[in-house]
Amino acid sequence: MSALAARPWRGLPAAALATLAALVVAWLAPAQGYYLNILMQASTYAIAVVGLVVVLGYCGQISIAQAAFFGIGAYAVAIGTVDFGLNFFVALALGVALAGVLGLLLGLGSLRLGGHYLAMVTISFQQILTLVLTNWIDLTHGPDGVRDIPRPTLLGVSFAGGNAFLALCLVALVLVTLAVWRLKSHRLGRAMQAVRDNDLAAGTCGIDVFGTKVIAFGLSAVLGGLGGGFFAVGFRYISPDQFGFAESIVLLTMALLGGVQSPFGALVGTGLLVVLPEWLRFLRQVYLAVYGAAVILIMVFLPDGLWGFVSARLSRRALPDATHVPPLPLLSQTGRESAELVLSVEGLAKYFGGLKALDGVDLAVRRGTVHALIGPNGSGKTTFINVITGLYRPTAGRIRFAGRDVTALPPHRRNRAGLARTFQNIRLFRGMTVLENVMVGAERAGNDVAGDPAAVVRRALAALDFVDQRGDAFRLVGTLSYGHQRYVEIARALAGSPAMLLLDEPAAGLNMTEKHALGLLLRRLKGHGLTILIVDHDMTLVEQVADHITVLNFGRRIADGLPAEVLANPDVIAAYLGEPRRHDAA
């Protein structure tokens, strides 16, 4: 199937079949008792576990509070219907909304915290909720829990029977699974995965990293609340101990066991962890030990989970797409150098404690030129690019880009203003294919193709065409050689139609022929009017492409001017080149 075809119905036929299967299962299930309970538990838990796939699998943020959101949904429905006489669906909507809002608030914690610190915050949230459920007796009925939760009626159809309500739960699960599966290849889902794989690069590709994390937490909490709401009505009785820390761990284990990268993994993991204890019951006393050992073995030998293991073997490698796509819009422009300043930097300083990485640097880049920034190792070149693209806040100084002061803007806002970059130590999104990486660049907010999925794919393919990497479009980016990854990074930057491109050592790791080809490519880009700032140690390349050179040493500018003058400057030779450039040899 062509990657170019827009497929708004994607997954719907399978979902319709799954719905049918769900109805059959619900119809065949006993009306009450043990097996109904097992099915009810599996389907409602699975909705919450699919939520974990969003926050942990897609966005890479660990949340150990899913049982808390599950509990919020459950209690909203229980209290709403029993004590306030609300309709189930109204109470469910309130519960889901409350869970979502609290999820967003928890996500706000990711502004300052990451990794295990954020995990600690989610655990604290989980504990607070358990305390509230247990001790706010007037509202929650305390440790006794809420009983006799009524089952609803919708449009004259009664869901009072076990089979009917199970059918409702399963259909909800199918819809949630479909939505989360589609999210993965949606712009938002790609942004989440980009944040997971490399948050610095995501920011410089125009993704609001913090906002994306907050949304992931919110979505995950919504699904937690939804599962909980169904759970409460399914079992008709809830109590605080069902939504404790231990249950959060169980939900997390289900996600990891099944494979956290896909909602199908969540289904597999949930099904297994609900059913496995039942299968193992005949073992009596040793049952828990065997159960624990089975979980450990799966984790150790199938680190991507059961579904990850299966899907890796089932996945067919998509064939390279030969469809002709229109070339990058940049290539239809002709550029010429102008005196207008695209980037102007005044008195830029960045101190790390006592280390003055940049110490009052002035630099001006004219539109349509290639400007090279060179200097010894540790002279502040990469720091300069990091400050310009917003990864570091400057200690002092001002940065003007395309006529506006961007000194205070975060990385994704600078990218939207037209500033794109590559990284010295390649920062690609390693869990994604080459094409997906470049699509992230193409769909940045403000780009002409953003919002049109088919156009985003075409633009990404055009960028890959330009750097001649189309043939690898469907490979995981990490499997490419170092040099090809560099080209993918350039394609990702170009797909966003930047006004200026910052390249941090693009030639590192390329051999001389490849460097020469890179030089030609950069000249071509310049010929089409793109402004480029390049940091590199290869003087042959710098001479090949640069219109202007600035030299840094110990965070200060020691030379600035035309290439011939700068490279003959005795200070530059002493600090950097070692010996004068010999033009007769080349």
Partner 1 sequence: MTLLDLSGVVVRYGAGDVLKGLDLSVAEGEIVALLGANGAGKSTTLRAISGLVAPASGAIRFAGQPIGGKSPESIVRLGISHVPEGRRVFPGLTVRENILLGASNRRGVKRRVLEGEVDAMLAFFSDLKRLEHALGWTLSGGQLQMVAVARGLMAQPRLLLLDEPSLGLAPLIVQQVFRIVADIRARGTTVLLVEQNAHMALSVADRGYVLETGRLLLQGKPDELWSNPKVRAAYLGGAAGAIPGTP
Write out the residues near partner 1 by the rule CB under 8 A.
352, 355, 375-379, 381-382, 424-425, 479-484, 505, 508-516, 537, 539-540, 575-579, 585-586
Smallest gap from Cβ 168 to partner 1, in A, equals: 44
Min dist CB 562 to partner 1, Å, is: 19
Helix residue ranges per DSSP H, 280-365: 287-301, 305-314
List the beta bridge partners of residue 374.
551
**Beta strands 548-553; 556-561: pairing state:** antiparallel
User: What is the nearest approach in angstroms of partner 1 to the Cβ of residue 484?
Assistant: 6
Q: Is the separation of the CB atoms in 551 and 541 below 8 Å?
A: no
Q: Which residues contact 13 (CB under 8 A, 6 or more apart)?
A: none
Smallest gap, in angstroms, from Cβ of residue 544 to partner 1? 10
Least CB distance to partner 1 at residue 538 (A): 8
CA distances from 561 to 353, 519, 547, 568, 571 (A): 31, 20, 9, 11, 14
String of DSSP letters for 390-419 = TSS--SEEEEEETTEE-TT--HHHHHHTTE
Q: What is the DSSP string of 467-523?
A: TT-GGGTTSBGGGS-HHHHHHHHHHHHHHT--SEEEEESTTTT--HHHHHHHHHHHH
* Shortest Cβ 572–partner 1 spacing (Å): 10
What's the full length of the chain, in residues?
A: 586
Q: Pick from 190, 278, 285, 172: which is nearest to 233 by CA? A: 172
The H or E element spanning position 191 is: helix 187-197
The nearer residue to partner 1, 7 or 537, going by C-beta atoms, is 537
Beta bridge partners of 361: 348
Q: Is 562 exposed, middle or buried (0-12, 13-18, 19+ CB in 10 A)?
A: exposed
Q: Please, what is the minimum distance in Å from the beta carbon of residue 496 to partner 1? A: 25
